[in-house]
Structure 1
Amino acid sequence: MTAPAHSEPAHRRILLVDDMPAIHADFRKILGGPAPTADFDAFEQALFGEPVVAPAGAAGFELDSAYQGQEALACVQAALQAGRPYAVAFVDMRMPPGWDGVQTIERLWQVDARLQVVICTAYSDYAWHEVLERLDARDRLLILKKPFDAIEVSQMADTLTAKWQATRQAMQHASTLETQVRARTAELEAANRQLQQELAERQRTSAQLQLAASVFDNAMDGIVVTDERSCILSVNPAFTTLTGYTAAEAIGRKLSLLRSDRNEPNFYREQWNLLLQAGRWTGELWNRRKDGEVFCEWLNISAVPVTPGQPARYVGIFNDVTALRRQDDHIRHLAFHDPLTGLPNRALLLDRLEHAIDGAARLGEHLGLMFIDLDRFKQINDTLGHELGDRLLQEIAHRLRQQLLESDTAARLGGDEFVVLLEHVQDPQALGTLAERLITSLSRPVVVEPHTMQVGATIGIACFPEHGLRATDLMRQADAAMYAAKSAGRGCWRVGPPSPGGPTD
């Protein structure tokens, strides 16, 4: 590869790609490059039919040489990196042993798509239509057949470099215009954005005000706005629905309008002091409607942030939780009681047993725990159905309550299993007497027309502290004693063995 000249303008740069040195010498004569040596005179005659003479005005091109496609690709890449790309490349079709012309052109256009290409050939392995199909030629590909005509080569080089330069100038001018247009557009867009932001801010403020008004008017919760003296300034429709007071009746009056006598005497004063200190108060209170009905409400009062100099405002949001409050006791009952019999369930039994153990340990008293399992209940339940089985369990629960003191607890663990907790036991030996009485009572027939049902009862007994010091120990010992009674024939009771952790150990 010959060294590129440095004195010619970039737009006159031409790359010749041919494996024959004689061709390079002839092109330099035609395009004004260095004069060829006498070694190439014979080739000139063969290619042009006569000695090559540079046409008038052909000087001024910067001609570089490459003898293989790979070398040509390196030249194009180096020219692009230097910022001085080639305008035209003359490419031979046959250049053994490397790439042929088509392969070379494909790779040159991959790195420089603006490069003008002239195919120079006397023989080709491709038909012209095959070349066009393979190459994305557009308006950047011409063909020059050997032998060359010097005038044709010169005019082609001059025209193609001029075209390349004109295209480049047009692109540069277009780029300059685009830059100016982008700058002006950016200025206009910035101004437009500023206007849009101002408009959007106004619209956003308006929308927020409309939304706040819509929320205020359509909220299901009651909303009341007061000043720092608790004087009502505004109420929403839900306030009227919940309290019975219209806006005209409430505005201008104090919140004490709703006060009831269900709260502690100092409740409202403490509420308002906390609100003034913390800026917020949340809680439950009882108020009175216009018709005198007392209702429970959940209230959240917050101070409205204001700028210095503006009067203080407070917003109260409340809803009626009377029904929830009334349901609370029922829900609590369901959580700790058997829904069928109303007896305490396992959770409540364990809680009471833990407290009873603490009290008995403190006072040095005894406790009794009985596990009761009904005999033949499953047979009745499967034969007569669950509805009658449920009626039977309810009667069993009733009979258990009748046999116990008010301080004692009868619980249902599930199915046909019941537990009795006996507090303040003076004589643990007397537990056997109670067990006999329970077996007799539970074994009496139960009549649910038209059926008469009868079950038996097997009881296991554990005592505190003899059979354990913890609730789990007593439960386990009573359960084991009940199974021992079942093994002894049912319809009887047994007492668990003393625990290793008991006081007799």
Structure 2
Amino acid sequence: MAGATERCSARCTNAQRKPAAMNRPRPLARVLLRRIAVWYLLFAVAVTGTQLYIEYRNIRQDVVQTLDALARTFTPGVAAALWDYQEDLLKSLARGIGEHTLVVAVDISDLHGRINAHYRTTPDETVAENLTVQQPLYHRFEDGQQEALGTLRIASSTSRVLAQLRSVALSAGLFIAAQLLFLGVALALLARLLVVEPLTRFSEQVSHLKTGEEQQIDLGATPISEIATLQQGFNQLLQRVAESHQAITTTNASLERRIAERTRNLDERNRELRREHELTLALVRSIPGFVCVISSNGAILLANAAANRLLGSPGVALVGQNWALLPTLAAPDHPLHDLMHQAQINGQGNAQATFTATTGPAQTYQFEALRIGQGSDARIIMVGVDISAQQEQKLLLQHLAFHDRLTGLPNRALLLEHLDNTLRSTRYQQQPFALAFIDLDQFKPINDSAGHEAGDAVLQEIASRLRQCVREQDLVSRHGGDEFVLLLHSPAQGLPRIAYAILEAITQPIHWQGARFQVSASIGFALFPRDGTSPQQLLDAADAAMYRAKQAGRNRADFGSAPLLAAQ
């Protein structure tokens, strides 16, 4: 039993000694030499890798230059064979080029991209795009002119470059390793001579000081100024420690008195802040607009009645919820999410959002957000004002500015805007579209005989019929008076059918308050890009075609070209 106790005690003693041995300071020479060896190894690897990378890039450049020279050499023969279309000769030339040690693939193609000759040295070897050269092929005539025939493409692979690199890597690596080894040994010897030996002597003096009774280091005269400075600074530190202890005792008593006074002041300030906070809450709750305060992590700290009405859920308080998880803001593209992001990044932002109520009309709010503070202490104050009435007035004014009040059709301004946008979108594709300029025949007598109220009723009916004659993507506008302009996204072959439908619809009788009216129309077509490439050119061309139709007898359409009339 006693033996077991002794063994247990020995194991516990060894276990306690192991951490102490692991944490025991090691000699400076060993630590410094180990650090130098590690940094030397890292430096050697970096230098060797850099040298090999430079050699690799040089070899890649040499390979590309060799492929380019090879392509220029074979270009005349390949061009002559391609001009005469000698397929066997092209394949023979491709095979001859491919016999070069750096070549992996050879392609000879014509102007249409068809491969006339192809050669691969190794089927499973991958071609590197940055190790590929292309040489255009031309046939030169006796008068000096030339005609493009196709392209000669010669490609190599990374494996060919690595094969070249291996031949130089060994010699370069040995040379660099020898240089770095010499540099490492020199640095180690220099460090031992200038740093390790002086500090070892100083360490011995410090160890003797620990066993003595005096509280100062006395090394005597030393030839090393750094050690003398270290000795002097250490002795001054011991003296300052004693002086500081006395000063700390005196200062502690003074600090205790100041802390007690500061505590009383803070208690009074806290009471004042609590009263100001209660006043602020009452003020915010009384504001009719939207007010909400959010913390940096998205927690809602304060929300008035308007905020709860817009964003809250029935029976659930808004305060305490997370802004990003509110059901009313579930849409990821909701404007208030972007407003929150603006405030977090830029410190402020503004946005406009519309809320649809279960009962009553939708409400539009203008929001502004301001960030106060930084980091985790930041707060975002968001306020909003109901601008539903202003928004409805703005939309009404915008509609009246771009639509005819009598017929509800787009007016000339909106037509020009749509026409300009269409021209920009089709300028590069050159997709044709058409303008139809319509002028009503015998409309003025209706105004003169039945009055302007009857004329307005006729114009409203004609506008309704024109909408039914075109597709949804086409635009029907009132140009003024009894003139209408249609923007048609239809091919030229379909214009006669549209013209016939419009003429047929307009000539149908119109009944109004017991009276019967009947009008016809003269239509002029202008086609992009045939008749113009600007809005005014197309309108002038369509207007001129309309007048030709009116001069030809009215109730007809003029398409502006004989081939198009034939399509009718």
State TM-score, norm by structure 2: 0.42
Larger relative contact order (CA 8 Å, sep ≥ 6):
1
